[in-house]
Amino acid sequence: MTRLVLEMLLNRGRHAVLCPMFDAVVPGGIRLPGIEATALEDELPHAEMIIAFGGDGTILRAARAAADLGVPILGINFGSKGFIADIETEDIGLIDAAAAGKYKIESRMMIDVEVVRNGASISRDFALNDVVVKGENKVLDMMLFGDGQRILHFFGDGAVVATPTGSTAYSMAAGGPIVEPAAQNIIVTPICAHILEAKSFVLDSDRRVTVELGNKKQNPAYMSVDGGEHVKLLSGDVVNIHKSVKSTRLVRLSSRSFYENVSEKLGEKF
């Protein structure tokens, strides 16, 4: 499939190169005979578009690489759900429209995250999907704030702070709402909270969300950003999250609506 798309683009006069993103899958990276291969970071400054083959994880990784330069991303879904990808493998003919420049761009909100320990910043990152704070197999003492006002204090497995794009991922699985991805909101969802009134909150995008680890349950915890590497958290650490100046630009070719995708991918039958 990857070779087919590359050949379609080359046959239509487009310069296209293969940029393996997960070199660990095949020692030395993925190579296709006759197709130029190079590092994504080297190509981004000159790229008109990234075409990402895979599931949402692949697109999330591409989004992180492309955010500073604003290069749009077209996702071709090879995964199971693939809410971020625009087209499925059976829609591959739509690449013709992309090669001809006949596509729309949809901007997706991102969030910045910072971990503060004893008043000092120890980690900074940004996300397209979500920031997850979770215990290592034990419940945590957690406090959630919006603009400094307490939202919830609870014992539980953790919390998800998601963008609308990430609302159909871990946040939804934890009981959070499905939010239209082009919206501008921050979704705060407790994970398995041991309290009756624990609910998911949908906040304005300008709110500054704080996740604080209390001292009543000093259990090991970690933070992950878009499912990436874990950052170990200690009791008293503060995680600050707010809307980023960065955004992800997604290419839209398919005529399927978000609602159709939700119905299809979440198993609703008519």
Q: How high is the pLDDT of residue 28?
A: 45
- What single DSSP character describes residue 179? -
Check residue 12 and give its pLDDT.
81
Give the residue numbers marked as catalytic. Answer: 56
Q: Which residue ranges does the chain devote to CATH 2.60.200.30?
A: 110-245
Separation between Cα atoms, residue 220 and residue 140, nearest integer Å: 8
Residue 162 DSSP symbol = E
Give the residue among 263, 239, 68 at the shortest CA–CA distance from 142: 239
Yes or no: domain 110-245 corresponds to CATH 2.60.200.30: yes
Tell me: pLDDT of 6 over 60.
yes
Looking at the domain covering 2-103+253-265, what would its CATH class be?
alpha beta
pLDDT for 88: 86
Asked whether 210 and 225 are in contact (CB, 8 A), the reply is no
pLDDT in tens, 20-76: 775 534 444 445 555 667 888 888 999 999 999 888 889 999 999 999 999 999 999
Sign of CA dihedral 52, 58, 62, 67: positive
Intervals of CATH 3.40.50.10330 along the chain? 2-103+253-265
Q: Determine the pLDDT at residue 269.
A: 53
pTM over 0.85: yes
Give the whole-number percent of the chain exceeding pLDDT 70: 91
What's the pLDDT score for residue 3? 77
143, 159, 167, 198, 220 from 181: Cα distances, Å: 27, 20, 8, 24, 33
Q: Supply the pLDDT for residue 127.
A: 97
